[in-house]
């Protein structure tokens, strides 16, 4: 990207972080903050209306989560550079980030000077994923017992909602499944993970971060 000024939008529901990022960008002549949104629906409209060069996008957002929004933005604005942000680096969050097609990921706890370096790298066409991201990918998601290596996509979805203590009827309604289908998925999850109780299932989900609320 060779523009003299890089226009940047921020989509995040944490107002203090948004204010800090706006102040950070204001210090740099090469960056121009053009707008912010606090939820996924407003963020989609903001980017479609303003067509920024880059978006700083929170993974966990109301209405449309950041990972789903990244996909929508890639379709409608293919030239947009997307840098995902999160305060969570558990295996499930990192796995979801790896599937989102973004150009980078940064932990929200990153020092301000490093934030600018990464924004600059991603804005000018490079890809950057944090050390925390790579550590989880290498140390957790390569394990044979990792959820994505054992379970189907649908089984992972069911386990996510089990980990949030949803009952089977609510899971079935949310995923558009019959109650019997949810029960079959539960049975297959137990068989594949070689667990025998609800407590063991919840413990596995907790270890892998499957109960984290992204959407």
Query: Can you give the residue ranges of every domain in the chain?
Result: 6-139, 147-207
Q: Give residue 100's pLDDT.
A: 95
Residue 3: pLDDT band (50, 70, 90) is low
- Residue range 106-160, pLDDT digits in tens: 999 898 889 999 999 999 999 999 999 999 999 999 999 999 999 999 999 999 9
Is the distance from CB of 188 to CB of 70 less than 8 angstroms? no
* Closest to 32 in 3D by CA, of 55, 6, 3: 6
What is the tens place of the pLDDT at every residue in 19-78?
999 999 999 999 999 999 999 999 999 999 999 999 999 999 999 999 999 999 999 999
φ, ψ for residue 210 (rounded to 5)? -75, -10
pTM tops 0.75, yes or no: yes
Are 59 and 88 in contact, with CB atoms under 8 Å apart?
yes
What local confidence, expressed as pLDDT, does residue 1 receive?
Answer: 52
**Fold: same for 6-139 and 147-207:** no
166-176 average pLDDT score: 96
CATH class of 6-139: alpha beta
Specify whether domain 147-207 bears CATH 1.20.1250.20: no
């Amino acid at each position: 990207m060779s523009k003299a000024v890089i226009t940047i939008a921020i989509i995040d529901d944490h107002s203090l972080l948004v204010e800090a990022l706006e102040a950070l960008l204001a210090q740099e002549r090469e960056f121009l903050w053009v707008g912010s949104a606090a939820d996924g629906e407003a963020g989609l409209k903001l980017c479609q209306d303003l067509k920024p060069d880059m978006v700083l996008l929170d993974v966990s957002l109301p209405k449309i989560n950041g990972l789903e929004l990244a996909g929508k933005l890639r379709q409608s604005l293919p030239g947009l550079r997307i840098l995902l942000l999160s305060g969570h680096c558990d295996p499930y969050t990192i796995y979801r980030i790896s599937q989102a097609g973004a150009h980078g990921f940064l932990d929200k706890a990153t020092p301000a000077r490093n934030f600018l370096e990464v924004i600059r790298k991603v804005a000018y066409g490079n890809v950057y994923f944090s050390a925390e991201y790579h550590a989880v990918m290498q140390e957790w998601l390569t394990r044979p017992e990792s959820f994505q290596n054992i379970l189907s996509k649908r089984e992972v979805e069911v386990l996510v909602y089990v980990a949030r203590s949803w009952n089977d009827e609510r899971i079935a309604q949310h995923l558009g499944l019959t109650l019997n289908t949810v029960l079959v998925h539960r049975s297959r999850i137990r068989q594949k993970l070689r667990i025998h109780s609800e407590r063991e299932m919840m413990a596995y989900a907790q270890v892998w971060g499957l109960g984290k609320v992204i959407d």
